[in-house]
Amino acid sequence: MTDTTAWLQGQLSRRAVLAGGVVAAGGATLGAASGQADHSQHATDAGTPAPNAHSGAHGAMVTVGEVDSAGNGFDPTDMLTDWDTGTVSTLPDGRRLRSWEITAEDKEIEIAPGVMFPAWTYNGRVPGPAFRATEGDRLRFTFRNYGSHPHSMHFHGIHAARMDGVPGAGLIGPGEEFVYEFDARPFGCHLYHCHALPLKRHLHKGMYGAFVVDPDPALHPEHADIARSRLLGSPENREWQELVMVMNAFDTNFDGENEFYAANTIAHCFMKAPIRIARSRPVRIYLVNVVEFDPINSFHLHGNFFDYFDQGTTLTPTLRTVDLITQCQAQRGILEFTYRDHEPGLYMFHPHQSEFTELGWVGMFDVTEDMA
Ligand SMILES: [Cu+2]
């Protein structure tokens, strides 16, 4: 066990003692609960070693307890790598067709221990499925609305107006069905979301997800090797450790401000379960920002720098050697980095909006010697 791992586990177990503080706060913010928690720890921590003087800077303030992933029907760690490539078949003209069946449904989900949120979902999960296709594929989404409100699937991509998922073009009422069909282009890291009105309310209720289109190496001879590394399942792609993170937030008291922030929905999940990274293999993150009510979000990596591909639509970086990128609402991109020359340990990532970090959007990469 590394020193940092021991420190983190100490922090987490110390926090477990403080469960009463957060639970008692109910729907109040973690920030409000933390003052109470810090006060009570003197009484409950007697006999345990004094915390490191610097321990308050990062990580000391996390939610207490566990979210019931089985009850939610989805797990934030599993969702990092859970690509949905659809059902593949071949069209009469020889092209590849990918088909999906998607349902909208109302569902109460647990976004932090004991904090329930009345979500609207695609296929019962928040974020919705992470769709992945190859440039030029034909895509067909059969969408059925089993929810209580009108909904749609609006894709950020190139398609006809009648496939746009706006009122009059694929926005459907409860009990209705619509089939969206278009080609996968351009390649990149995109998103989809409901486009019913009021838009920000439908988005924030959970109706969004990642939509990744891999480049077809045959179409990019000048960078075919890079394109192959992005093509899911290719030998070159399998060298990479790919993760999809959808940065989201929840307004649990419906006052137009968020109480909880995360990537993949569950506050502080990647503090409690650091993401394992084999240090010899490169890392690629498909990062999407769907936070409503706050105009800006960001991603900052500790102890390392990365290359960034804004919207993922280029094969060479749009930013090189940065340790922070900023994303507006619906902005997204691809991060590439490696810990090859680092010592193993826990490397933090979080937005540099400190409030978001304190309210749940922060995590750790557990960089290890090579895993089997
Ligand atoms: Cu909707």
Instruction: Tell me the per-residue pLDDT of 234-267, one tens digit each, with 9 for 90 and over.
Output: 999 999 999 999 999 999 999 999 999 999 999 9
pLDDT at 274: 97
Report how far ligand 1's centroid is from the alpha carbon of 170 (Å).
12
3-state DSSP helix/strand/coil % of the chain, to nearest 5: 20, 35, 40
10 has pLDDT over 90: no
Percentage of the residues of the chain whose pLDDT score is greater than 90? 81
28 has pLDDT over 90: no
| Chain segment 292-343, per-residue pLDDT in tens | 999 999 999 999 999 999 999 999 999 999 999 999 999 999 999 999 999 9
Report how far ligand 1's centroid is from the alpha carbon of 118 (Å).
13
Average pLDDT score over residue span 61-79: 94
59 has pLDDT over 60: no
9 has pLDDT over 80: no
Lowest mean pLDDT across 21-25, 162-166, 352-356? 21-25
Report how far ligand 1's centroid is from the alpha carbon of 149 (Å).
7
Please state whether the peptide bond connecting residue 113 to the residue before it is cis, i.e. omega within 30 degrees of 0. no
Report how far ligand 1's centroid is from the alpha carbon of 145 (Å).
9
Report how far ligand 1's centroid is from the alpha carbon of 135 (Å).
27
Report how far ligand 1's centroid is from the alpha carbon of 52 (Å).
47
Lowest mean pLDDT across 58-72, 267-281, 316-330? 58-72
SS3 313: coil
Report how far ligand 1's centroid is from the alpha carbon of 196 (Å).
5
112 has pLDDT over 90: yes
Q: E-assigned strands of 186-318?
A: 188-193, 208-214, 241-250, 260-263, 275-278, 283-289, 296-301, 306-310
pLDDT confidence band for 61 (50 / 70 / 90)? confident
Report how far ligand 1's centroid is from the alpha carbon of 206 (Å).
9
57 has pLDDT over 80: no
pLDDT at 200: 87
Cα–Cα dist 194/140, whole Å: 17
Sign of the CA dihedral with 250 first, then 31, 287, and 84 last: negative
pLDDT at 25: 36
Report how far ligand 1's centroid is from the alpha carbon of 310 (Å).
27
Average pLDDT score over residue span 199-213: 95
With beta carbons less than 8 A apart as the criterion, state whether 74 and 107 touch. no
Average pLDDT score over residue span 109-121: 97
Report how far ligand 1's centroid is from the alpha carbon of 171 (Å).
9
pLDDT confidence band for 371 (50 / 70 / 90)? low
17 has pLDDT over 70: no
Report how far ligand 1's centroid is from the alpha carbon of 120 (Å).
7
Cα–Cα dist 78/187, whole Å: 24
Report how far ligand 1's centroid is from the alpha carbon of 107 (Å).
13
Token pair of 372 as six digits: 């089997």
With beta carbons less than 8 A apart as the criterion, state whether 244 and 77 touch. no
pLDDT confidence band for 60 (50 / 70 / 90)? low
| Chain segment 184-205, per-residue pLDDT in tens | 999 999 999 999 999 988 999 9
Report how far ligand 1's centroid is from the alpha carbon of 195 (Å).
6
Q: Rounded to whole angstroms, what are the CA distances from 145 to 85, 152, 161, 173, 203?
A: 21, 8, 20, 7, 15
Q: Rounded to whole angstroms, what are the CA distances from 71 to 111, 171, 266, 275, 367?
A: 11, 30, 13, 22, 30
Name which of 257, 297, 104 is nearest 192 in CA terms. 104
Report how far ligand 1's centroid is from the alpha carbon of 269 (Å).
26
